[in-house]
Amino acid sequence: MYDRNDPDSVSNAKHQCRFCGKRFSRPSGLKIHMTTHTGEKPYVCPEEGCGRSFSVRSNMRRHVRIVHQNSSLAGTVTSDSSEDGDHNMREASV
């Protein structure tokens, strides 16, 4: 099992960032990390008029939960913990 605090696990991680050399045990981790270099922010707050965008889906969900907590959208954003999923699946079906 991968342990980021174990130097042997880190050196065996197969997915390496071509920009900074950071390694990941899963391709999804590398995919998320790459947005720190590209500046890509594909996850947009679904609250009308907000317009905030995020590179990581969980950050967008946290934003909606905290900033728009009294909004009807606050409960509709998916709670899926996966960060490597489809960018089009930002809201749960109502």
CATH class of 7-38: alpha beta
pLDDT tens digits for 12-65?
689 999 999 999 999 999 999 999 899 999 999 999 999 999 998 999 999 999
Say what the pTM is. 0.57
Residues in CB range of 87: below 8 A, 6 or more apart: 42, 43
Mean pLDDT to the nearest integer, 57-78: 81
Return the domain boundaries, the chain. Answer: 7-38, 43-74
Worst-scoring range by mean pLDDT, 37-41, 66-70, 71-75, 80-84?
Answer: 80-84
Residues in CB range of 58: below 8 A, 6 or more apart: 81, 83
Q: The tokens of 33 are what?
A: 């990390």
Q: Check residue 86 and give its pLDDT.
A: 41
Pair 28, 16: CB distance under 8 Å = no
